[in-house]
Structure 1
Amino acid sequence: METVKDGMGAVNDMILSRTGSDVDLIPELANHLIDSGGKRLRPMLTLATAQAYGNRSDARILLAASVEFMHTATLLHDDVVDESDLRRGKPAARMVWGNQASVLVGDFLLGQAFKMMVEAGSMDSLDVLSTASAVIAEGEVMQLVTAQNLATTEEDYLKVIDAKTAALFAAAAEVGPILGKAGDDARKAMRDFGRALGVAFQLVDDALDYSGSQAALGKNVGDDLREGKITLPVIVSYQRGNDEDRAFWTRCLRDRDVADADLAHAISLMERHGAIAETLSRARHYAQEAKTALAAAPDCAEREAMMEAVDFAVARAT
């Protein structure tokens, strides 16, 4: 987003300054992930929505940086829970420094995020982002509960990603009109935009785990299968499959008995039952919902850039 380029430069500077600590391990581990080429889509949403509603204050920089710290902390914690080896194509922090250090540095980043929210001086923004932090944690616990459970429905799955992923997108977008003092209708429109974009983004990620490349995904393709995660491609394949297909999914996901050849077989089942195509079709549906909500924003360069961000989120699968 060219329209937020200057703001993102200030956000990046703030991120680097706020990872500083007398404890050398903290900046070392935090910067391992922060410098690894993440898209920074969530803080861009905060900058773009704030600017769309007429706010270019330092508060938007503080809140955008806090959003990125919340996201980074979640990634550090997720990799420990999921026992992931890679993150953004590099060894996950837990593989370099261990699980304990990853969890504790994630906690440090969350603390810094809340300090920046307070410094921004907006109680409504603090309310939105702190609520999102709790919802994200709930989503992670929900995912833990649904893992390996092949009775998980599409409705259950959407509740998980709505909390785990979409909540932060929604909050990142909603704080923009809060800073611009734009009123409840604008807040709802941007919240709905962010939520729909977040769901679309996660659906594409879940499809890529069975159809993409490591470079596109930033982690090992097939990690969801190895970790027993029940995602929409699995739900569709399981529901449309025969008894033999369902026995395969049960062995891999419920029993966590995954052989080297199983990923290829899982992909072939998904192709046979149109599961990836179905998942991407749902992603496009939510992307259109995001654009519909975004139409309520002021007609400006930032709105056009956010429209393009929606297209980018879905185009990753092509």
Structure 2
Amino acid sequence: MAIVVPLSGDKNAAGPVSLDRLMGLVKDDLKAVNELIVKRMDSRVALIPTLASHLVAAGGKRLRPILTLASARLCNYRGDRHISLAACVEFIHTATLLHDDVVDESNLRRGNATANAVWGNQASVLVGDFLFARAFQLMTADGSLEVLRILSNASAVIAEGEVMQLVTTGDTETTEDAYLEVIAAKTAALFSAACRVGAAVAERPRVEADALESYGRNLGIAFQLVDDALDYSARQATLGKTVGDDFREGKITLPVLLSFRRGDEEERRFWRRVMEDGEQDEKDLATAQQLMRKHGALDGTIERARHYGAMARDALGIFPDSEVKQALIEAIDFSIGRAH
């Protein structure tokens, strides 16, 4: 039976900041996005909307499309193109989740059965492809080559990131730089694209578009770092996820890298056995958690997340103070505060 490891984090932290302000500012736009998502998921092939709706209904805060809506608002955009592009961002995200669950052989997501567990791998992959196609339909309908460039590039980078993660699975010689390259691609690329699109539809100067892209990229890296720490912590269970999924799948994340680097040779042999050789028994997850606690690997991962969170905050510095800017800053605090 695995133990659960608390994340001590900032001893003075009051807990996670809410996304309520951000969601409240974009709630009408988000309602329109959700309506468009439901409409565009429709198909004469009944399995497509059934399977896609299963994943959409599973929950999630729609953070990525919300970033598109909020970024457009920060740039004083007054049209409605951001609605369809936020839906496009969510379709890309949902498609990658469907594919990821197949690759990872996952059975649960947010406490619910994954689509591949219910309908099988083939259906999940094909519906993921359908959602990617829907995303590209929305991009081309928008008519902006810049928007198409931003979102199509992000889609390619995400796929590269997933392949890079596959290559590094089980490899304890993976460097921290290589790990950061993976999460910058598979997670942060869509965060950054979601934000840059907001500046693109508003036709803002490049300096503002670059700033929003930087905000999104650094927020995405911080978000994934916290996710990787949570996979070994007590908080993971309270978030409706299974503790130790990354461990069982042999994923080389920062908590593993820090524990491996800071451990002695006997501990490194343990990591090689469970990660490289894939030889795990029911006690190994608890041992991994104990080693992470011994070497401060989870706290070290959260400290890295705070570093990237600070860079995300700095990227917003060129924008005048406003309620939406404050809400975007709170999104950083929320993402990191999930560890508490």
Name the aligned partner's letter for residue 87 of structure 1: R
Contact 1:216–1:316 (CA<8 Å) still a contact in 2? no
What letter is aligned with 2:87? A
Q: How high is the sequence identity, in percent, across the aligned residues? A: 58
Distance in 1, matches of 2:305 and 2:224, equals 8
1:162 aligns with 2:184: yes
Residue 120 of structure 1 deviates from its aligned partner by 1.9
Structure 1 pair 128–151 and aligned structure 2 pair: CA distance change class (3 A): same
Aligned counterpart, 1:41? 63
Q: Which amino acid aligns with 1:228?
A: G
State the distance in 2 between where 1:252 and 1:204 align. 22
CA distance in 2, matches of 1:159, 1:45: 22
1:37 Cα deviation from its structure 2 partner: 1.0
How far apart in 1 are the matches of 2:338 and 2:38?
A: 28
Distance 2:78 2:48 in 1: 31
Question: Higher relative CO (CA 8 A, sep ≥ 6), structure 1 or 2?
Answer: 2
The aligned counterpart of 1:192 is 214
Q: Distance in 1 between matches of 2:145 and 2:182?
A: 27
Amino acid corresponding to residue 229 of structure 1 in structure 2: K
Q: Distance in 1 between matches of 2:110 and 2:39?
A: 22
Structure 1 residue 236 corresponds to structure 2 residue 258: yes
Please give the per-residue CA displacement for 1:229-266, whole angstroms capped at 9, x wherever unaligned.
00000000001111111111111100111111111110
Query: Which stretch of structure 1 is more off in the superposition, 209-218 or 282-291?
Result: 209-218
Cα deviation, residue 56, structure 1: 3.3
Residue 141 of structure 2, aligned match among 103, 119, 129: 119
TM-score, scaled relative to structure 2:
0.92
1:52: which partner in 2?
74
> Contact 1:29–1:105 (CA<8 Å) still a contact in 2?
yes
Match of 1:299 among 321, 325, 333: 321
Question: Are residues 212 and 125 of structure 1, via their aligned partners in 2, closer, same or farther at CA, if it must alter by over 3 Å?
Answer: farther
Alignment check: 8 A CA contact 1:209 1:217 kept? no
Deviation at residue 217 of structure 1 after TM alignment: 4.4
Q: Distance in 1 between matches of 2:236 and 2:46?
A: 31
How does 1:61-76 map onto structure 2 within 5 Å?
61-76=83-98
Q: Which residue of 2 aligns with 1:221?
A: 243
- In the alignment, the residues of structure 2 paired with residue 132 and residue 229 of structure 1 have an alpha-carbon distance, to the nearest angstrom, of 23
* 2:102 paired residue among 57, 72, 80: 80
Q: Which moved more, 1:195-204 or 1:238-247?
A: 238-247
Q: Which runs of 5+ in 1 are unaligned?
A: none
RMSD (CA atoms): 1.0
- Mapped to 1, the partners of 2:296 and 2:254 lie a distance apart of 11
**C-alpha distance in 1, partners of 2:30/2:319?**
21
Going by fraction, where is helix more abundant, 1 or 2? 1
1:24 to 34, 46, 55: 46
- Structure 2 unaligned segments of length 5 or more: list them: 1-21
Please give the secondary structure, in 2, of the residue aligned with 1:210. Answer: coil
**2:304 equivalent to 1:286:** no
Partner of 1:274: 296
TM-score w.r.t. length of structure 1: 0.98
Contact 2:235 2:339 in 1 (8 A): no
Please tell me whether the aligned partners of residues 237 and 243 of structure 2 are also in contact (alpha carbons under 8 angstroms): no
